[in-house]
Amino acid sequence: MVASGPVDMAGWSLAVTARSETGPVRSHNEDCYALRTDLGLWVVADGMGGLARGDLASRAVCTAVTGLPAGLTGADLRTAFARAIGQVHARLLAEQISFGPSGTTVVALLFENGRYRVFWAGDSRAGRLRAGRLEWLTVDHNLAARMVQLGRMSDEEARRHPLASRLTRAVGIGEELELDEVAGRIEAGDLFILCSDGLTGELGDAEIAAALAGDEDLERAADELCDLAVRRRHARDNVTFVLVKVLDGVAGRQQG
């Protein structure tokens, strides 16, 4: 368990916590997370289990984020983040000759001037719980997601489909790394979640939302979500998530 909160960041009061569990089925944990609350930046990475050294790939992403200089803001932070992830991508490609293919998903949440930005490659997700409703802000980069876009299955069906494991984009896979991006306004009371597919593969949206909304204490909510996925559902994959809750702040009151 890792907790950080409440903390003040750019006029916001935040609570931040994270969980990462190997689970009862997998032999080791290939997930990783990085908390740079000082920068307003949080990351989850999930090493690709079908490839060599997936755990090292995900940790390389988190190490790169952890190593970003303090004090970065705005465009400088976005540029430094993209460069750091790009360098990991290039290194993984260069090491293929010696060690074989290796890759990892990445999803990052960034707070900036009363707005959030999400960057991602792969099927680790970012979501937002607002007024009790869970909304996924990302679209999976896998073949199952394409079936959803074609109307051939629902999102929750796709999360458990064999095609969900066939990623179309990831760090270390393909010549060029392309990160998708979405952005929006932060509101007081928002609860953001970053997670590996070990969580979304086990739990439906209603279950995730109920666990997160069921307790005002972020630590207890995180414990409930982790217990539900890992121990009561006997998670078949590693389960990792980061929660960022906007408690209150000058920016939030101005927007209201």
Q: How far apart are CA 138 and CA 118, in angstroms?
A: 8
Q: 46-60, 122-136, 221-235: which has the minimum mean pLDDT?
A: 46-60
Q: Does domain 2-134+170-248 have CATH number 3.60.40.10?
A: yes
Task: Give the start-to-end residue ranges of the domains of the chain.
Answer: 2-134+170-248
Looking at per-residue pLDDT, the higher value among 164 and 70 belongs to 70
Q: Which residues contact 109 (CB under 8 A, 6 or more apart)?
A: 41, 42, 43, 116, 117, 118, 126, 192, 194, 242, 244
Q: How far apart are CA 102 and CA 64, in angstroms?
A: 16
Segment 111-157, tens digit of pLDDT: 998 999 999 999 999 999 999 999 999 998 877 667 667 777 777 76
Kindly report the average pLDDT of the chain as a whole number. Answer: 87
Structure tokens at 166: 């066939």
Q: How far apart are CA 52 and CA 57, in angstroms?
A: 9
Looking at per-residue pLDDT, the higher value among 161 and 248 belongs to 248
The CA–CA distances, whole Å, from 69 to 23, 36, 65, 86, 226 equal 33, 10, 9, 16, 31
Segment 238-256, tens digit of pLDDT: 999 999 999 876 444 433 3
Q: How far apart are CA 20 and CA 22, in angstroms?
A: 7
Residue 220: the pLDDT is: 94
Q: pTM for the full model?
A: 0.90
- At 12, the pLDDT band (50, 70, 90 cuts) reads confident
